Homo-oligomer: A and B are copies of this chain.
Amino acid sequence: MPDLEGVSPLILNRLSVYLRCLRHLQETGVERISSQQLADRFLLSASQIRKDLAQFGDFGIRGVGYEVAVLADHLNSLLGLDRSHPLLIVGMGNLGSALSRYLGFNHGAFKVVAAVDRDPEKVGRDMGDFVIRHVDDLPAVVRDSGAEIGVLAVPASAAQENYEALVRAGIRAVLNFAPARVKRIQGVPLKNVDLRINLEEVAFVLGPQGRGRGASLADPLDDDLPT
């Protein structure tokens, strides 16, 4: 049953992970796989895989396993990756440039179609598929490019105002990489990603002044998974 409402972020992220594993298997020429094999191969839990998947329909074949290609395609469309998601990068400094490379992937589901910056030096630069435009032109840029998701890669102090500008320009969702919490405006999904928190986590396991050796606590690192 495609019970799409109320899917927890935990399950969602695992689906992404499963999909990546499956793509990997596909490239390796594997056609069928059981939940147990998947779990062994990628350090996951077999029963969890089954439960996660069963939520969205009966993709498997009892006694056999899952058809890699079929399952991958199901997940792909479930995650909304079967249609293209045009991205707009706001702020083309190092982070913005890095993200524009990093995020274009996944069988073409995500594609950077536009970028804006405040710096006149950068405006006009040709990025191959598009030209960097001025942040003041956001409304026109969003309209012309058809961008759907805005990616904030601006300094912390400029994050909130740029989010709001994106909303006014008609963007449908925003991902914020600036190290500042942005407050969501009703109706425009927003995800704040703070890269620094990961560093703090790692710093913690190293302990006060080198508590013991490495992995002390409940092995908390590693939330996400394979490629």
Contact = CB atoms under 8 A, between A and B. Distances in A.
Interface stretch (A93-101, A124-132, A138-146): A93-101
Given A98-B94, A105-B179, A227-B180, A79 B220 contact: no
Interface size class of A (residues with CB under 8 A): 35 or more
B85 A206 contact: yes
Contacts of A194: 224-225, 227
A226 interface: yes
Q: Is the interface of A mostly helix, strand, loop or mixed?
A: loop
Interface in A155-181: 156, 172-175, 177, 179-181
A189 B79 contact: no
A198 interface: yes
A218 interface: yes
Given A6-B217, A105-B179, 4 more contacts: A7-B204, A80-B204, A103-B195, A191-B221
Interface of A: 4-9, 12-13, 16-17, 77, 79-81, 83, 85, 87, 93-95, 97-99, 101-103, 105-106, 109-110, 148-149, 156, 172-175, 177, 179-181, 184, 186-211, 213-218, 220-227
